[in-house]
A and B are shown apart, each in its own frame.
Chain A
């Protein structure tokens, strides 16, 4: 039996709620009204970009700076869209929201598996519930401000754990040693030579180049 929308989305809640709260705390710390945090969660809905926004706002950056920096930071989404394209095209009318909400975590939940029966209900449900966790976290953090007892330190590790679990699932289905080694090499290279914000796009480009350059051996589904 397939896990339900709620079961699929639950691990994301453990990461999104504390991270959204951390974002809310930082944003009101700059002096903005609390409702900006959930509004940004609704309109921008990109975790790393919203943390980037905090430093941009603190530095008094302009609109063009913000646009270009966000574009660079989120360029990785192009690869996500490419991977889920066929599944999302088949969704019909819900496609727009599904693409709008294609975060790292939503992508990782949906990329590895084939479309289900009544896939629109499932994809939109997971996407919407994930955004719900995030917006709720942003709002709670901003409302509580600095008065939160932060015993949630380390809770965001659940997102790392989620990615690791989904990776194990992918490898159980089909393990291709050469692309895996390529991605690991790209990760190692970028870990030591690049600042955090360009890590993902650089390492994804490098892995893609390796995927194309080195023909995959063994099981192809």
Chain B
């Protein structure tokens, strides 16, 4: 058990420290600069999708709780621009929908 924990810790830290060991002149290549400029937004979008990966779209409620809650988060944030409010609002809606199974009942599923 200890050996496995240490192996997984080593592998994780290898991936986290690797870029910091690269020769610093590599970091001035235009290719790397393009990546550094564009990656944050791209990765955030991919993290949003990834965190919803467990959703099944082909059976009721067809990912609707996720879509509606995500819509509320974005809408609230565009409106009030208060991160905690947007996150709390969207999460509360999501929890209410999955815990009461509301959409399934409405959709007759």
Q: How far is the CA of A211 from the CA of B42 in the complex (A)?
A: 9
Give the contacting residue for A32; candidates B1, B20, B49, B70; CB below 8 A: B1
A44 interfacial by beta-carbon distance below 8 Å: yes
A159 interfacial by beta-carbon distance below 8 Å: yes
B42 to chain A, nearest CB (A): 4
State whether B91 touches A63 (Cβ < 8 A). Answer: no
A167 interfacial by beta-carbon distance below 8 Å: yes
B interface SS class: helix
State whether A164 touches B48 (Cβ < 8 A). Answer: yes
Give the residues in chain B near A44, CB-CB below 8 Å: 5, 8-9, 12
Give the residues in chain B near A100, CB-CB below 8 Å: 13, 16
Give the residues in chain A near B83, CB-CB below 8 Å: 3, 11, 162, 165, 169
Q: A49-B8, A63-B7 are in contact. Are A81 and B17 (CB under 8 A)?
A: yes
State whether A161 touches B91 (Cβ < 8 A). Answer: yes
Which residue of A has the minimal Cβ distance to B49? A187
State whether B46 touches A200 (Cβ < 8 A). Answer: yes
B34 to chain A, nearest CB (A): 6
A36 to chain B, nearest CB (A): 7
Give the residues in chain A near B78, CB-CB below 8 Å: 168
State whether B45 touches A70 (Cβ < 8 A). Answer: no
Q: A153-B98, A157-B90 are in contact. Are A79 and B39 (CB under 8 A)?
A: yes
Q: Chain B 43-61 against A: per-residue CB contact (8 Å), 1 yes, 0 no?
A: 1111111111110000000
Q: How far is the CA of A206 from the CA of B84 in the complex (A)?
A: 32
State whether B16 touches A211 (Cβ < 8 A). Answer: no
Which residue of B has the minimal Cβ distance to A188? B49
Which residue of B has the minimal Cβ distance to A10? B84
Q: How far is the CA of A215 from the CA of B14 in the complex (A)?
A: 31
Which residue of B has the minimal Cβ distance to A178? B38
State whether B49 touches A191 (Cβ < 8 A). Answer: yes
Give the contacting residue for B41; candidates A53, A71, A180, A212; CB below 8 A: A180
B contact set with A: CB distance below 8 Å? 1, 3-20, 27, 31-32, 34-54, 66, 69-70, 73-74, 77-78, 83-84, 86-88, 90-91, 94-95, 97-99
A contact set with B: CB distance below 8 Å? 3, 7, 10-11, 14, 32, 36, 39-40, 43-46, 49-50, 52-53, 56-57, 61, 63-64, 66-68, 70-71, 74-83, 85, 88-89, 95, 99-100, 102, 104, 107-108, 111-112, 151, 153-155, 157-171, 174, 176, 179-180, 182-184, 186-187, 191, 196, 199-200, 203-204, 207-208, 211-212, 216, 220-221
